[in-house]
A and B are shown apart, each in its own frame.
Chain A
Amino acid sequence: MSSSLTFAYYPGCSGLGTSLEYDTSTRAICAALGVELVDIPDWSCCGSTPAHTVDHTLSSALSARNIAQAEELDVQGIITPCPSCLTNLKTASHRMEDEAFKEKVNKLLEKPVENKLPIMSVLQLLHEQVGVEKVAEKVVKPLEGLRLAPYYGCIMNRPPEVMNFDDCENPIAMDELMAALGADVAPFPLKVECCGASFGVARKDIVAKLSGKLLDAAEDVEAHAFVTACPLCQMNLDLRQSQVNSLTGSKHDMPVFYYTQLIGKALGLDAKSLQMDKLCVPPSKAFRKMEEAQQANAS
C-alpha cells in the first residue's frame, strides 16, 4: 500500500545511540499512523551545535549534503525527530534562500543542493498533517490518570521566523497529542527553557542547575513524568538525573518519556518498538500511578 504521506527521514546520530528508543518508537508510530518514511540514503551528521559555533558555511554544508541526498527521493519533504538536527537543516535551508550564500555552500559540496524540499519535525508532521483527531481515533489503551509535564526544549519552535511551527513561548502541539491519548497534561511553565544543552560533558554544573530547575518545576505541578521531544533534553533529564541529584542535593525520581513512546503505548504497539527499558529512570512508577488513578476512577 502506498501512503499519501511519504517523507524523507533523517534519524540523526543520536538515533543510532543514546536515543535509540526515540528512533524506534518514531518509526513504529509513523507506520501505525500511515506515514511512510524513506531513510535519506547514506545520511551524514548535520554537525549539531559544534558546527555552527565554528562556522556558518561549514555548518550549512554539513546539513545541505543531507538535503541534497533527500532530493533524489520521491518525497513530500524531510522530517526528523531531533530538534537539533531540525534547527540545523532548517537554518541551512533558510540561509540558502540567499543565492550568494547557497553558492558558497555548494562550493563545499560534491553534489549541489537545490534547496526546494520543505523540512519539518516529526512532531509538526503529526500535529499538522496526520492530525490530533486521527491519533485519538487510533487509541486503544488510553493513558488516563497519567499526569505529564510537557517539555519541548528550547529550539523546536525558536526562532519563530525560521522554525515556523506552533508558538515560540507556549507551544501546544505535544500537549494536544498527549491529551488525545487521554493523559492529564499539567500546565508546565518551563516548556521552552534550556536544559543545559550539550554542556553535560564539559560543564555539568550548568546542566545540574538548569535541568534541576526543570525537575523541580515538574514536581511542583505534580507530574508523574516528563514527556519530551528532544534527545539531548531527554538525556540531561533522565541519564543525568542522578548527577543533578548529587550536585544539587535533590532526590528526583522522575521518568522522562519520548512523546513517541507514549503515543505508541496508547496505540497498543508492542514493547519491542517502544523500548521503555532503554530509559534510565524506570517508567514503572509513573504507570503504577496511572493505573491507581484509573482504578480509583472506575470504583
Chain B
Amino acid sequence: MNIVSLSNSYDADFVDEVEKESKQNVSLCYQCGNCTAGCPYTSFYDIPVSQIMRLVQAGQRETVLSCKSLWLCATCESCTTRCPNEIDVARIMDVLRHMARRAGKAPEPQVKTFTDSFLASVEKHGRVFEMGLMVSYMTKTGRLMTDSDLAPKILPKGKLAFTPHGIVGKQEVANIFKRYNEERDS
C-alpha cells in the first residue's frame, strides 16, 4: 500500500491548474466509485479513476502525472456519463494527460508513440495515412512485427492505400499545428 503524506505534499497549484484547464470542480467528487465501477480499463490501470480523482483533490501532482492510467484511458465516457455529480471525469483525464505530456512523462511509451505518429501523419498529409502511420510507429518503437499477422487478412481486401490521400489544403492543416506550437511556446 502506498502511504501519502498529505501535509508535506499537497500542491494547491496543481488542483487549481486541473480545475482551470478542465473547467470542472474536483471537490464535488465524494468517492462513490461509480466511475471506477463502469471503467472498462480498470484492470489495466495502476490507479483506478476514482482514486485519481481523490489524489487530484489531495494535490498529489507527482503521483497523478506519473501514473499509467492516464495513457490507458480511451475516453469511452462511461465515467462522465455515470457521475452522479455531473463531473466530466473523462475531460479531467484528458487534461491530466496534457499536463503529463508537458511534464515530459510517458510511462506507456508505445501509446505515446502511436499518438505522436498519428498526429505527425495528419500534420504532413492533412489526413491520416494508415499505412504510413504503421510504418512510422514500427520504426520508432522497433516493434517491426506489429500486426504482421493481420497483413494477409487486410492487404488482399485493398483497404490499405500504399500512398497518402493528400488534400489541396494540407498546408492549411500544417499551419494549424504550426500556430498551435507557436502559441504553446510563447
Contact = CB atoms under 8 A, between A and B. Distances in A.
Interface of A: 13-14, 16-20, 42-45, 47-58, 61-62, 65, 107-110, 154-155, 158-160, 168-169, 192-194, 196-206, 209-210, 239-240, 242-243, 277-278, 280
A242 B150 CA distance: 9
Q: Main secondary structure on chain B at its contact with chain A?
A: helix
A55 B98 contact: yes
A40 to B, nearest CB: 11
B40 A194 contact: yes
Contact of B119 (A18, A44, A54, A243): A54
Interface stretch (B3-11, B27-35, B160-168): B160-168
Interface stretch (B47-55, B57-65, B70-78): B70-78
Interface in B160-179: 160-161, 165, 167-170, 172-173, 175-177, 179
B153 A239 contact: yes
A57 B91 CA distance: 13
Contacts of B160: 17-18
Contacts of B176: 58, 61-62, 65, 108-109
B133 to A, nearest CB: 9
Given A240-B150, A243-B150, A154 B76 contact: yes
Interface string B134-166: 100100000000110110011001111100010
Contacts of A16: 127, 161, 165
A45 B128 contact: yes
Identify whether the interface residues of A are mostly helix, strand, loop, or mixed.
helix
Contacts of A53: 75, 94, 97-98, 115
8 contacts: A44-B170, A50-B116, A107-B183, A158-B77, A197-B74, A200-B147, A206-B44, A239-B154
Contacts of A201: 110, 114, 134, 137, 146-147
Given A19-B159, A201-B134, A280-B153, 13 more contacts: A14-B128, A44-B122, A44-B126, A53-B75, A108-B179, A108-B180, A108-B183, A160-B81, A197-B75, A239-B150, A243-B149, A280-B154, A280-B157
A190 B16 CA distance: 37
A155 B76 contact: yes
A48 B75 contact: no
A194 B98 contact: no
Contacts of A242: 149-150, 153
A198 B169 CA distance: 27
Given A18-B154, A57-B180, A62-B173, A51 B127 contact: no
B113 interface: yes
A159 B88 contact: yes
B40, B101, B111 — which one has the most chain A CB atoms within 10 A of its CB?
A: B40
A201 B136 CA distance: 12
A101 B48 CA distance: 31
Contacts of B66: none
Contacts of B81: 158-160, 168-169
